[in-house]
Structure 1
Amino acid sequence: MKVSEKSNEITAIPELLKSLFIKGNIIRVDAMGCQQDIATCIVKAEGDYLLAVKNNQASLYQNMEDSFRFLKTADYDENIDIGHGRIETRKCTIITDLAHIENPDKWERLNVLIRMESERCDKATGNTEYATRYYIASKPANAAFYQKKYP
């Protein structure tokens, strides 16, 4: 969907969501769409959300880091993939304790905090890349679910 000149992605996403069949599905949105109104829109359409959290939501991002630093994890899953000339290890950790999230009730039906860590080693060069990504989600599920469905 093309965004008009006087608009942006944040205002266009709810309009796009209105055109989709959401009921029973999980809608994954990048960090630009990590907005409370978008989460509410998805839940009202009887779907679930998986929203990427980055520094554009600085307070939430810090809350996520604190949660994974200080709270007990609810579940963990690890996957190693060897192929395409590299070895990639992906780790998914989830937390269901929202104690470090400011005003968690502002996020419609927020149930899960997710941390995805990846380590990718190029077998030819030995160069290794590391990445950590955070997500919030409404669907209560274990780490293996998020690991397999949303790497």
Structure 2
Amino acid sequence: MLDEIMYDHILVPTDGSNPATAAVEEGIELARQNDAAIHALYVVEPIPLGQFSAGPGPASSEWGDVVEEQRNEGDAATSDVADRASEYDLEVVEAIEHGKPHVQIIEYANEHDIDAIVMGTHGRSGANRLVLGSVTENVVRKSEVPVLTVRE
């Protein structure tokens, strides 16, 4: 007889897009069924520094503005997950990481004993992929834990 699979920690990477929102709903439902904690993760992808100068002046303040805007987007996206999950009294961990999204998602999953990852098939830049978004595809290929992909 097979043991019942239990999920205690479910990772829901989000970028605030519509496909990510669909995955959030699915992740919350999976968490409800398992009385699991939701980990809402937003990854700030580095911008090539060639677009901004590193020295003092207007360009460096623009760089600071871009980073601050990305952090604000991350706070809004993870807070949205927390708000939705709070309707069901689920424990929520909010996190913002910096780096390549698929790498950070997999590292986060490994470091936090994640049992499953629930993510959208496409994110903001997913229009150039026919089946899966490139981030999702890389996570599916490289993750050691199950990945549930959700269409918008």
**TM-score > 0.5, shorter chain as reference:** no
Q: Which has the higher contact order (CA 8 A, sep 6+)?
A: 2
Report the structure, 1 or 2, having the larger helix content. Answer: 2
Q: TM-score if structure 1 supplies the norm length? A: 0.25
